[in-house]
Amino acid sequence: MLVKDKAIFLQNIKTGDKKSIVKLYTLSNGLVSCFAAVSKSPGSKIRASTLLPLNLLEVEYIIRQNKDVAVITEARSYFVDSLQGNNFASLGVLQFINEVLIKILKEQQQNTSLYKFIEQQIILLKNHEFNASTFVVEFLVELTKYLGIEPQNNYSIQTPFFNSREGVFEAVALTYPMGLDKTCSQLFSSALSANPTTDRYTSYQRKLLTDALLAYYGFHIPNFGNIKSLEVLREIVVA
């Protein structure tokens, strides 16, 4: 069956000189893996320059009966970004977001709202219309809502400690990464709020929140593991 679709390019796994298995997050079918014959030829329908992390694509692929891997026959960008090669903040955040998405996007079924959310965030990044101090934290918080793992923001004087495993604030503190201390819990609650108390985090606050959110993902996303691009991100985004 031939499918015409929109897709977010996630990963290229080379299997030969000009052959690859590419992973796409599609509007119609969720995560799709495809065989691709990639070429640098100007007339090629699948060019190597198109298959870059988090490119927004219009694609055509063939889903074969009783086969786990589809065959992509055409790919072209549907969004031309203004991102310059020396825009290190945007590139660092894109690399980080791409690695997170590879780890969490597993469902092979349509999720239009999730696709649209990711698409919107990519456009903001590639147009450099984002706050480098808050973007990663806000992205990770919002993403929990689309994954069905949103933490409960029940912070209070009686429940001042966040429990990462249960996703709620409780009266008793747990050791990290199971839970957060009082200071970090209060900051975490603010980040979860629909009206956070700041539009800018210090480097220290951003580190605390990012680590807390990644620890939370680790409890709720199977095989989430470590994010290798995190240290690169921290070297680039210093605001």
My answer on whether 164 and 219 are in the same domain is: yes
DSSP result, 85-133? TT-HHHHHHHHHHHHHHHHH----S--HHHHHHHHHHHHHHHTT-S-TT
The residue among 44, 77, 110 that closes a domain is: 77
My answer on whether 221 and 129 are in the same domain is: yes
Domain total of the chain: 2
Task: Give the amino acid at 74.
Answer: E
My answer on whether 109 and 138 are in the same domain is: yes
pLDDT at 128 over 90: no
pLDDT at 184 over 50: yes
My answer on whether 45 and 143 are in the same domain is: no
Q: Let me know if residue 134 belongs to a domain.
A: yes
Between 18 and 178, where is the model more confident? 178
Cβ atoms of 153 and 192 closer than 8 Å: yes
Total-model pTM: 0.91
My answer on whether 48 and 158 are in the same domain is: no
Q: What is the mean pLDDT of the chain?
A: 91
Q: Let me know if residue 82 belongs to a domain.
A: no
Ranking 34-43, 99-108, 119-128 by mean pLDDT, the lowest is 34-43
Between 83 and 52, where is the model more confident? 52
Segments forming the whole domain that contains residue 230: 88-236
My answer on whether 116 and 212 are in the same domain is: yes
Three-class SS state of 177: coil
The stretches of the chain forming alpha helices (DSSP H) are 88-104, 112-126, 135-147, 182-192, 203-220, 230-236
Give, in degrees to the nearest 5, the angle at Cα 21 between 16 and 23.
Answer: 155
> What per-residue confidence (pLDDT) applies to 101?
98
> What per-residue confidence (pLDDT) applies to 196?
67
My answer on whether 52 and 115 are in the same domain is: no
CA 185 – CA 160 distance, rounded (Å): 7
pLDDT band (50, 70, 90) for residue 3: very high
The residue among 13, 48, 77 that closes a domain is: 77
DSSP structure class, residue 149: -
Q: Let me know if residue 123 belongs to a domain.
A: yes
My answer on whether 176 and 213 are in the same domain is: yes
The residue among 30, 56, 77 that closes a domain is: 77
pLDDT at 239 over 50: no
My answer on whether 127 and 41 are in the same domain is: no
pLDDT at 224 over 90: yes
Relative orientation angle of helices 135-147 and 112-126, to the nearest 10 degrees: 170
pLDDT in tens, 20-66: 899 999 999 999 999 998 877 766 788 888 889 999 999 999 998 88
Q: Let me know if residue 140 belongs to a domain.
A: yes
pLDDT-above-70 percentage for the chain: 94
CA 85 to chain centre: 21
pLDDT at 83 over 60: no
